[in-house]
Amino acid sequence: MTQDVLISTDGKAGRIRLNRPGAIHALNTDMCVAMAEALDRWRGDTGIEAVMIDHAEGRGFCAGGDIRMVQESGKTDGKAARDFFRQEYRMNHRLFTYAKPVVAFMDGITMGGGVGISLPAKYRVATENTKFAMPETGIGLFPDVGGGWYLSRLPGRMGQYLALTGARIDGAECLALGLATHYLPANALDDAKRRITAEPQAIEAILDALSVEPPEAKITAHQEAIDRLFASDRLEDIFAALEEEGGEWGDKQLSVMRTKSPQTMKVSLKLLADGRTMPTFEDEMRQEFAVASHVCQRHDFIEGVRAVIIDKDNNPKWNPATPEGVSQHLIDQIFAPLPDDEAWTPA
């Protein structure tokens, strides 16, 4: 059993505690398998009435996934990368379909893989420490772990904005957008967890009682501009709208997007367009797995991880280098379904 995630029971609650503080609790394959196995065990255990997900120590709830491993694998046959995505998405799907209430404590950095284990939870607790983002386009990846499902269901075009820019939002903004269900001060979390383990049937009342008035959600002031400027599902249209808009805020978004992979920004727009009408979360994960299987071996992902995470020169050389250079044929190739014997399944 991996020590990177601590699995235990406490009273009537199952506990999943991420325990890789040196990596800000980024998920690896063994962690995903251990979490899925625990969820399966507790599913039929009448003594367990709820599940709590948090982190054991250190800053951040969960900074994402094991991107260095995925990149190393992507440079060769991609098998280990595909295995990671397969197990991670199975765990995500179990959480999404779980009958017992799940509480995720999004205290600190909640990005990528951390989004994938918090957004399926019925109760999602943000704090003054929450830093939420889906920053994948900056490394030539896309907002996966159900990103196409969740982001496409945010108000207006907020999901497209978050997917393309990788913008970081705080706990108050998460609550305003519905990404979080409750806003608690971080110093109330231990009390919340104690009360929940004693009385899991009262989770909602416990979290309601400990909630405080959040600060102003700054992102909501930009909702109108986001809906207008990010209205199109064509990346070229969004760039043109931002260029025409000008102004401090518009120029800032434009300069941020010019650092991102044009290829995976286009992938993200299609993912959200498809996700809006995806029949089930299982269908969403099947599509995202096919896309991830293709993207993890492409130039932009290998180069993006090199530039941002390994060498840290923050100067990736994208190929194609411009939105216009990313053809519809290339996007179609990335979204091509996998053969039946390679496709993702829930178990």
- Catalytic residue (one of 14, 60, 65, 147): 65
**Is residue 220 assigned to a domain?**
yes
Cα–Cα distance between 308 and 342 in angstroms, integer?
30
Q: Which tokens in the block code for residue 60?
A: 């951040």
- Rounded distance between C-alpha atoms, residue 27 and residue 82, angstroms: 14
CATH number of the domain that 202 lies in?
Answer: 3.90.226.10
Residue with tokens 């399926």: 120
Among the listed residues 54, 66, 107, 144, the single catalytic one is 144
Given 14, 112, 113, 147, which residue is catalytic? 113
Residue 57 has what pLDDT?
A: 82
Domain count of the fold of the chain = 1
Give pLDDT, residue 2. Answer: 75
347 band by pLDDT with thresholds 50, 70 and 90: confident
Distances (CA, A) of 96 to 65, 102, 122, 145: 18, 10, 9, 11
Higher-pLDDT residue of 225 and 246 is 225
136 given a catalytic annotation: yes
- The answer to the question of residue 122 being in a domain is yes
Instruction: Please indicate, yes or no, if residue 98 is contained in any of the structural domains.
Output: yes
Q: What is the pLDDT of residue 104?
A: 98
Strand pairing partners for 109? 131
Residue 347 located in a structural domain? no
Place of tokens 């029971």: 9
Residue 168 domain-assigned (yes or no):
yes
Q: Return mean pLDDT, the chain.
A: 97
92 falls in which pLDDT band (50, 70, 90)? Answer: very high
In a domain, 295, yes or no: yes
296-334 pLDDT, tens digit per residue, is: 999 999 999 999 999 999 999 999 999 999 999 999 999
Left, alpha or beta for 34 (phi > 0: left; psi -120 to 50: alpha)? alpha
Model pTM above 0.85: yes
pLDDT at 126: 98
Residue 195 lies in a domain: yes
How many Å apart are CA 37 and CA 56, to the nearest integer?
19
Q: pLDDT digit string (tens) for 139-175? A: 999 999 999 999 999 999 999 999 999 999 999 999 9
Q: Which residues pair with 123 in a beta bridge?
A: 103
Q: Say whether pLDDT at 1 is over 80.
A: no
- Give me the DSSP letters along 145-159: TTHHHHGGGSSTTHH
> Between 59 and 276, where is the model more confident?
276
Is the pLDDT reported for residue 113 higher than 60?
yes
- The per-type count for the chain, helices as H runs and strands as E runs, is 16, 9
Buried b / exposed e across 125-157, counting CB within 10 Å, b at 16+? bbbbbbbbbbbbbbbbbbbbbbbbbbbbebeeb
Give 248-301 pLDDT, tens digit per residue.
999 999 999 999 999 999 999 999 999 999 999 999 999 999 999 999 999 999
Which pairing describes strands 5-10 and 13-18: parallel, antiparallel, or unpaired?
antiparallel
Give the Cα-Cα-Cα angle 154, 282, 226 (nearest 5 degrees). 15
Whether the per-residue pLDDT at 246 is higher than 90: the answer is no
Q: With respect to residue 343, please indicate whether it lies within any of the assigned structural domains.
A: no
Is 147 annotated as catalytic?
Answer: no
The single residue of 49, 88, 136, 170 carrying the catalytic annotation is 136
Which range marks the domain in which residue 111 is found? Answer: 5-334
**Residues 285, 344 contacting (CB under 8 angstroms):** yes
